A = this chain, B = another copy of it.
């Protein structure tokens, strides 16, 4: 037997389908007596609203598309939690799309906005395809896009992020306060906006401390564990050897430490390592990683709120959340070294 429809419920309750629909959506406009009959009919039949029919009728899916570059990356999951929280409170369903970093996939997922599967999108990464050509403004009926964490500066995109430059400065300042004067930097991938901003923060902190940034101290990475391992090989050839390194994210920092350890260099005794992100494993890692904490859950929640706000015809502004340095055991005072 097929799924019960609103009509089945109506027949059993002895009312019209309009009344059933009203019972479900504006219960207060219907008599308590009929409401009870209808609701019990709903229970009896096990009726569940057909969302396809509803979406078609109300021209809305009550769904938000969340585009993630790599769902396997633990960094994103806590953002998702924040989104999930706010969304489910608002009765919104989340459609998660994992692009695996591939443009083609992202392009495909973009169609979910066009074909009505979703009413808006949350991008957890720098857009690879021109989502922004979509009408992003809040004109009625438009499907807004909010970029989390990696908004391009200068675009008029709605976004939620931290002050990456400032946060990187904070991190490097911590190293400076520990007495380090020779601080290397392991960067993210070349094209990434976060790479640029965190590197800028690194340089600014150095300059403010009266140290001229040395390009040779900036080692190219790609946020991956392996790139951290590779970076150590280049790091150890630096002469003199820096006493600390600021890594653009935690995973690469772990790779770096792992390689350092294999090579007999102790962290933090021989070299202090600072990460960025404060992913879940940062605190379990050996040594527990000093890093920059991003309020990921809040970022997700805030982004979802932005979307709700746009849907409500308001005109929300981009938001910048605070990031904090969390000190653990991968950083220590600089060893004394004769100049």
Tell which of B74, B111, B261 touches A72, judged by Cβ atoms closer than 8 Å: B74
Q: Give the residues in chain B near A261, CB-CB below 8 Å.
A: 286
Copies in the complex: 2
A96 within 8 A of B: yes
A181 within 8 A of B: no
A320 within 8 A of B: no
Tell which of B49, B74, B98, B288 touches A81, judged by Cβ atoms closer than 8 Å: B98
Cβ–Cβ contact B258 & A116, under 8 A? no
Looking at the assembled complex, report how far the CB atom of A50 sits from the nearest CB atom of chain B, in whole angstroms: 5
Cβ–Cβ contact A284 & B115, under 8 A? no
Complex alpha-carbon distance, A48 and B222, angstroms: 36
User: Are A254 and B284 also in contact (CB < 8 A) when A74-B72, A115-B50 are?
Assistant: yes
Contact-residue size bin, chain A (C-beta under 8 Å from the other chain): 35 or more
User: Are A51 and B117 also in contact (CB < 8 A) when A80-B71, A280-B72 are?
Assistant: yes
A 84-140 contacts with B by CB, 8 A: 84, 88, 93-98, 100, 105, 108, 111-112, 114-117
Q: Give the residues in chain B near A61, CB-CB below 8 Å.
A: 52
Query: Contacts A51-B116, A71-B80, A285-B286 given; 5 further ones with Cβ under 8 A?
Result: A3-B116, A48-B111, A51-B115, A93-B95, A93-B117
A-B contact list, 25 entries, CB within 8 Å: A2-B141, A46-B114, A48-B115, A51-B52, A52-B56, A52-B61, A52-B116, A53-B56, A71-B96, A72-B78, A72-B81, A73-B77, A74-B74, A81-B98, A84-B100, A94-B96, A94-B97, A95-B95, A95-B96, A225-B284, A251-B284, A254-B281, A257-B286, A258-B288, A285-B286
